[in-house]
Structure 1
Amino acid sequence: MLNYQEAVQTFDLNTVANELLSGSLNELNACYECCDRYADTDKVALYWHAKDGRKEQFTFAELKKYSSQFANFLKSQGVQVGDRVSGLLPRTAELIITILAAWRIGAVYQPLFTAFGPKAIEHRLKLAGSKFVVTDLANREKLVGLEDCPPIVTVHAEQVVEQYPQDISFWDVLNQQSDACELVMRQSSDPFLLMFTSGTTGPAKPLQVPHKALVAFGRYMQDAIGLKEDDSFWNIADPGWAYGLYYGITGPLFLGHATLFYEGGFSVDNVCQIVQEYQINNLAGAPTAYRMMMAAEPEKMAPLRGKFRVVSSAGEPLNPEVIRWFEQALDAPIFDHYGQTETGMVVCNHHALSHPVHAGSAGFASPGYRIAVVNEQGQELPADTPGILAVDVNQSPMMWFSGYVESRKSPFIGQYYLTGDTAEIHEDGSMSFVGRSDDVITTSGYRVGPFDVESALLEHDAVVEAAVIGVPDPERTEVIKAFVILANHAQASSNLEEELGQFVKKRLSAHAYPRLVEFVSELPKTPSGKIQRFLLRNQEISKQQERLNQAV
């Protein structure tokens, strides 16, 4: 295992690019890098497992053929270099074929999450200016009535020809095309993906992902995921979002490694089935999924003990209780990773690099990045001082994000990209996440990160999930309120409210405990699984205003 400090000190972008790319950063094609260069082998690129139990596998050679055919169709319809092609598809082979086809001719792929409603889809299609949208029967209705909707290619469209006579049948047009399609070469700064931020505090903003990000994606797979050639890898994140698209499709294929698509929804039973059937030993996903595994009956999870060589977590901070459970129940090391749609993963506990791993820490800046904590003026703060987590662009050769396609406010100040997250960097260089800047709670003169309180609550055996916010208070500025989902065996009561408050108080401090506890059946989350604390805050403010109105 390579030493982390050695990897940082010896990092050279050109050397890394030469090791990972077939050519150079000055002339490359994402489809070739993620597919064609492996097509002369018999390597499997995709294992597909349907909800109804049907299974198929596709080699790189097959994906090269199908993507060439679909690319030829797109070309015949006038799709040119830089044009956007959108995909509103579940985890199917057609999704990967669409992505590779767009890349093959120098077009840009734009993902649409299948849980989106029409308004979210319309917003993205309009800003993207998409030339085509590819979908399936289950999602086709969401496109009805959209303003300026581009032409629609539908998988199995022959089954709805009467209802949607204008639709183009995916496989019909694909099979009519030649399987020879010339690659369009691009430069490192040219985009191959158009992503949108989640838009939790406003409309989703578009951003372009340039080809040079391929190198960063590949190194993350190698260093942090620790992907080995003989691993059986599964990223359970949805490819409609950055983590699933960057590291469930692009990253593994870029390294010539198979990826796995399971169409069924996430459940403990499904996880157990897929892990055992495909002998998954390298797993990646979000804490929400892992907490569901923790909440399952122990006998259900017992067959998975010892199955995982490594497990990776991203999307939200990984609570220490989850880490302990994976070690004790599954004998598996689970490491926390931090990143954003805008940056990819930049701070990680690296499975393939040796360095200290601290519970509650997201790890160290990945080789090729330098992180800092700054104030609102862009001045770096001392160690162990909460501030805005930033990427030092001047000293981060792996950084590929240069700004939003259209945005009123730049996320850059001087040489720093501001993530909008509050964090601390410790003396040894490791980073601990505190919360989104607007999530940090000020109570009785103290600043409290919701993550610490949530982690403490999760250690109580009655708690499955928790979200913590600050509620306005005239005496303390804010008081801490926890929204708690209980385990099946627990019953909500005023005694349990008090017990949970005291439980956290003993583990954290006299000021960092929830004075208010509300038991709920669910928490508001983004489609990618991140807790939307701002909705809980807005809900509390509305309640307070209503009480004031009644008092008047």
Structure 2
Amino acid sequence: MSNVKFRNEILLLLEKYGAQNLSVAELLCDRHAKIPEKVALFYESENGDSVKYTFAELKELSSKFARVLAEVGIQKGDRVGVMLPKCPEMVITALAVWRLGAVYLPLFTAFGPSAIAHRLTDSEAKVVVTDTNNRPKLEDLMTKLPVSIVTVSDQFEEKVAKDEYSFWNEMKKSEPIRNVTLVNGDDLLILLYTSGTTGNPKGVKIPVKSLASFEAYMRFALDLRNEDMYWNLADPGWAYGLYYNLIGPLLIGKATLFYGGPFNPNEVYRILEKYSVTNFAAAPTAYKTLINAGKSAALKYKSFLRAASSAGEPLNPNIISWAQEVWGIPIHDHFGQTELGMAVNNHHLPELQEKLKPGSMGKSMPGFKMTVLDAEGKELGPNQEGQMAVDILNSPLYWFQNYWNDTENTKMAFTSDGRYYFAGDSASMDEDGYLFFSGRSDDIILSAGYRIGPFEIESALMQHDAVSEAAVVGVPDQLRGEIVKAFIILRDGYSSSNEIAKELSTFVKERLSAHEYPRQVSFLDELPKTPSGKIQRFLLKNAEYKVISC
């Protein structure tokens, strides 16, 4: 595929998704529903029940739920929080939100009340769609926030309280809404909160035109073909799962596969075989867990894999070797972030495939020009370490402009002239254009594919009566890449112990999120700080302290 052809394809994508008077529901669903039997979703529950939905069925169901949302008061531009596990109702809800020209606000199901409250308050969401397992997390928020709740359950119960609705009961009574709300390429599609180094999570504004970048990744990097069976393990509560597990397949008319149970190596292998999965994507932690289950577990099941991809954190070369041994194919490492989508890949598309270099995340995806900058914002030469950045002027698929109600963090994300966007990672680029990850250039923790900011965890710890001061860092971990470690100064009257360490860990887990809690705790008499009082987390990372594992 020539550079001219790539340029032409990118221009066509930009023209399609950056236009005026677009229907997102048409782009993701309705145009594919013209083939009645075309499957959009395979769903496998934890107990082994399976069901499939066609694009035509999703069109009808999402049109009904769009009516429900409209009657609750949702209009174009309104934010709708969605706290659902991977399930058919999540897909129905997303399409219904976009059918109304509203904005999808993902809420990861592991979030606790504090994390949920910040996102709902800051976004001014009007409705939250959740399920019976997650509904209790909203209990205390109901008296503080003017938000309506729609709950998915197995029962067709009537409305249970004021401003609360039963998903399937309302659907049963609803007539499909036939008129879609038109939007433009610059209108907001998603508002997704990502962890920051300081302060609360930042709201990333994701416009409709970002669909051009999402489709490019599905085609150029994943090489998703008509005959492929695709499975992406990532949760749509986060960017990779939302962009490329929920949206990406729908965009190009491909079925996606949702598994509703917890991660289990034997279940992963079973589903790979049952559905004859040919194109697979997951975080390195998932691959590491498969490796730890042993080769015998892998070899019990037949593999149909043609392509395997990894994203979320750097991929260790031994994982690639393992895949080559058990599946006969290498895993291709990819890089992206919430503000970019995927931008650097070891591409699967034959015309873009090149030799895999150990430790490299690959090369810039067509439509992006990634570079490495020095401290003054100037591009560095080959093999020089600096800050990885996007050359916006030469990246037509780049779409991020600013954070939601956050001018300070927006300003910090770009060079002073606005030419480059900082990806937040230290990296180098060799003479062939391969990028190599060196580390985070801030205090973000990369754990099991999740980006975790220290501020939220420190704030949660400070709510405990025993804590006088707290600092959080990421420390190396063989399985997860990094884990959260907390350094605590206790108040007078409290003594360090295994019991208080576990209590603090549980305290964060219950209030914030099941993926962000400290797995290690150390107790100190004082924290290292700058003269201005800022915590020097790098000193905590590099020093030896007595650790209590939780």
**TM over 0.5, yes or no?**
yes
What secondary structure is seen at the aligned counterpart in 2 of 1:394? helix
Instruction: Call closer, same or farther: CA 1:157–1:486 in 2, change over 3 Å.
Output: closer
Mark the CA change 1:48 to 1:253 in structure 2 (over 3 Å): closer, same or farther: same
Structure 1 residues 529 and 236, CA gap change in structure 2 (3 angstroms): farther
Give the structure 2 partner of residue 433 of structure 1.
437
Contact 1:34/1:256 (<8 A) preserved: yes
- Matches of residues 101-120 of structure 1 in structure 2 within 5 Å? 101-120=96-115
Residue 25 in structure 1 maps to residue 27 in structure 2 = no
Correspondent of 1:155 among 152, 155, 159: 152
Runs of 4+ displaced beyond 4 Å? 5-8, 157-166, 481-487, 524-540, 542-547
SS of the residue 2:319 aligns to: helix
The equivalent residue for 1:256 is 253
- Between the aligned residues of both structures, percent identity stands at 40
Where does the alignment leave 5 or more consecutive residues of structure 1 unmatched?
441-449, 455-480, 488-521, 548-552
Give the deviation of 1:131 after TM superposition. 1.1
C-alpha change, 1:431 and 1:486, in structure 2 (3 Å) is: closer
State the alpha-carbon separation in 2 of the partners of residues 246 and 529 from structure 1.
Answer: 20
Match of residue 476 from structure 1: none
Q: Give the equivalent residue in structure 2 for 1:468.
A: none
Q: Aligned Cα RMSD in Å?
A: 3.2
Mapped to 2, the partners of 1:538 and 1:386 lie a distance apart of 21
Q: What secondary structure does 1:432 align onto? A: strand
CA distances 1:154-175 after superposition (whole Å, capped 9, x unpaired): 1128578797565201111122
* Corresponding position of 1:492: none
Q: How far does residue 380 in structure 1 lie from its aligned partner after superposition?
A: 1.0
Kept in 2, the 8 Å contact 1:286–1:529? The answer is no
Match of residue 384 from structure 2: 385
The equivalent of 1:169 in structure 2 is: 166
Q: Which position in structure 2 is the counterpart of 1:322?
A: 319
Distance 1:290 1:68 in 2: 38
Cα separation, 1, equivalents of 2:403 and 2:256 = 30
Q: Is the 8 A contact 2:186 2:209 kept in 1?
A: yes
Q: Distance in 2 between matches of 1:530 and 1:327?
A: 32
Bigger relative contact order, structure 1 or 2 (CA pairs below 8 A, ≥6 apart): 2
Kept in 2, the 8 Å contact 1:372–1:390? The answer is yes
Does the Cα contact within 8 Å between 1:157 and 1:170 map onto a contact in 2?
A: no
Cα distance, 1:385 vs structure 2: 0.6
Distance 1:112 1:95 in 2: 11
Structure 1 pair 532–419 and aligned structure 2 pair: CA distance change class (3 A):
farther
Quote the residue 2:65 is aligned against. Answer: 70
Supply the distance in 1 between the matched residues of 2:140 and 2:341 (Cα, whole angstroms): 34
What is the aligned counterpart of 2:426 among 422, 427, 440?
A: 422
> Match for residue 406 of structure 1?
405
**Secondary structure class of the residue paired with 1:96:** helix
Structure 1's 40 and 528: CA in aligned 2 closer, same or farther, altered over 3 A? farther
Cα distance in 2 for partners of 1:399, 1:191 equals 15
Distance 1:285 1:65, change over 3 A: same
- Whole-angstrom CA distance in 1 between matches of 2:78 and 2:60: 22
TM (norm. structure 2) is: 0.79
> Aligned pair 1:192/2:152, yes or no?
no
Q: Could you give the per-residue CA deviations for residues 356-412 of structure 1, whole angstroms, max 9, x where no partner exists? A: 321211111111111111123211111111111000111111001011112223201
Partner of 2:11: 14
Which ranges in structure 2 are unaligned for 5 or more consecutive residues?
448-473, 481-504, 523-535
What amino acid is the match of 2:377? Answer: G
Aligned-partner Cα distance in 2 for 1:30–1:534? 44
Instruction: Kindly state the Cα deviation for residue 150 of structure 1 after the two structures are TM-superposed.
Output: 0.8
CA contact (8 A) 1:125 1:149 kept: no
Q: Which residue of 2 aligns with 1:460?
A: none
Note the 1:46-445 alignment, pairs <5 A: 46-146=41-141, 147-148=144-145, 150-156=147-153, 167-199=164-196, 201-304=198-301, 306-352=303-349, 353-407=352-406, 408-409=408-409, 410=411, 411-413=413-415, 414=417, 415-438=419-442
Determine the C-alpha separation between the residues in 2 that align with 1:355 and 1:319. 18
Change (3 A) 1:180 1:81: closer
Give me the whole-angstrom Cα distance separating, in 2, the residues matched to 1:171 and 1:111.
Answer: 20
Count residues in correspondence: 469
Letter of the aligned partner of 1:329 in structure 2?
V
Q: What secondary structure, in the 3-state scheme, does the structure 2 residue paired with 1:246 have?
A: helix
Equivalent residue of 1:39, what SS?
A: helix
